[in-house]
Homo-oligomer: A and B are copies of this chain.
Amino acid sequence: MSLTVVGSIAFDAVKTPFGERDRMLGGAAVHFSLAASFFTEVRPVGPVGDDFGAEQFEVLERRGILTEDIERVAGGQSFFWRGRYEYDLNVAHTEDTQLGVFAEFEPKLSELSQAADTLFLANIQPDLQRQVRAQCSASFSGLDSMNLWIETAKDSLLAAVAEVDCLVVNDAEIRQLTGEANLARAARAVMALGPRAVVAKQGEYGAALFTEGGFFALPGFPLEDVRDPTGAGDSFAGGFFGYLDGHDGDLDETHLRRAMGYGTVLASFNVEEFGTERVSRLSREEIDERFETLRAMTQFDGLAAPAE
């Protein structure tokens, strides 16, 4: 099995009440790939500039991530984002965004990326997402987006959503995209466009999964120390799609629910430290241990043994 992800590969400057970093490895495709790398073979697709060097490639390659579709643009600068968080860590305030080489990005997938079983379109301009979708034969695909594209490129975004199996966005974005204040109705409206699953990311409250006739939700994993929420949603998506791609067989309700669990676990490790610091030295054993803890925390009958 193999997984292709297209999205930003970036440097981030982040300030939170618990510290700051001037220039650290980041970007949606990076956080996604690191999280997914514990489950399957991952190929991130996206452009970087001359400033993206051996040190950054090594973070990815140490986790077995296949970097041949990361396009180095000579003379260019990598995508750069600067943001800060208030005391409650719930809202990111963007202070600077420099598209750099992303401004001229025209996705060209290698043959191996085109042949991936699973495709994830991280948050980029929806016409670019559609170009990538058209190049890839994946049998299962997902998409993330943001309020900017709902406001400036809604028709393109709706067309992109219609071409994927699973939408993974913040709950406020599902409401904004559909014009439905009620989340259950909004999710149903998305499914009417094409996707058979909708994941509503809810920040510290966790995430909810809507399928035809199904509903499942997990709380965020309770942590006493959260240092930097940047990349939490992308880490969630990486755990979610990584598990689904790495798993043989049908993507039925049980597997989607387990994928929600792995997404929640990867997001929780991501926020414990800045940027990719925690996930880049994580082990599969730590993931599985937290997965079992999360399962025990969400069993209705508290003292029941796990069902497996």
Residues of A participating in the B interface, judged by any CB pair closer than 8 Å:
87-89, 175, 181-185, 188, 202, 204-206, 208, 210, 214-217, 219, 222-226, 252-254, 256-258, 261, 295, 297-304, 307-308
- Docked pose: A217 CA to B225 CA in angstroms: 19
- Docked pose: A184 CA to B225 CA in angstroms: 9
Whether the Cβ atoms of A224 and B182 lie closer than 8 Å is yes
Could you say which residues of chain B place their CB within 8 Å of the CB of A208?
219, 222
Could you say which residues of chain B place their CB within 8 Å of the CB of A303?
252-254
Whether the Cβ atoms of B297 and A254 lie closer than 8 Å is no
Min distance, Cβ A253 to any Cβ of chain B, angstroms = 4
A217 interface neighbour in B181, B219, B223, Cβ under 8 Å: B219
- Docked pose: A210 CA to B175 CA in angstroms: 30
| Copies per complex of this chain | 2
- List 10 additional contacts besides A88-B181, A183-B222, A205-B206; criterion CB under 8 Å: A87-B181, A88-B175, A182-B226, A202-B205, A208-B222, A216-B298, A216-B302, A254-B303, A300-B307, A304-B307
Could you say which residues of chain B place their CB within 8 Å of the CB of A215?
222, 297
Whether the Cβ atoms of B185 and A224 lie closer than 8 Å is yes
Could you say which residues of chain B place their CB within 8 Å of the CB of A88?
175, 181
CB-nearest residue of chain B to A295: B300
Min distance, Cβ A141 to any Cβ of chain B, angstroms = 22
Q: Given A205-B205, A206-B217 in contact, is the A257-B224 Cβ separation under 8 Å? A: no
Could you say which residues of chain B place their CB within 8 Å of the CB of A257?
299-302
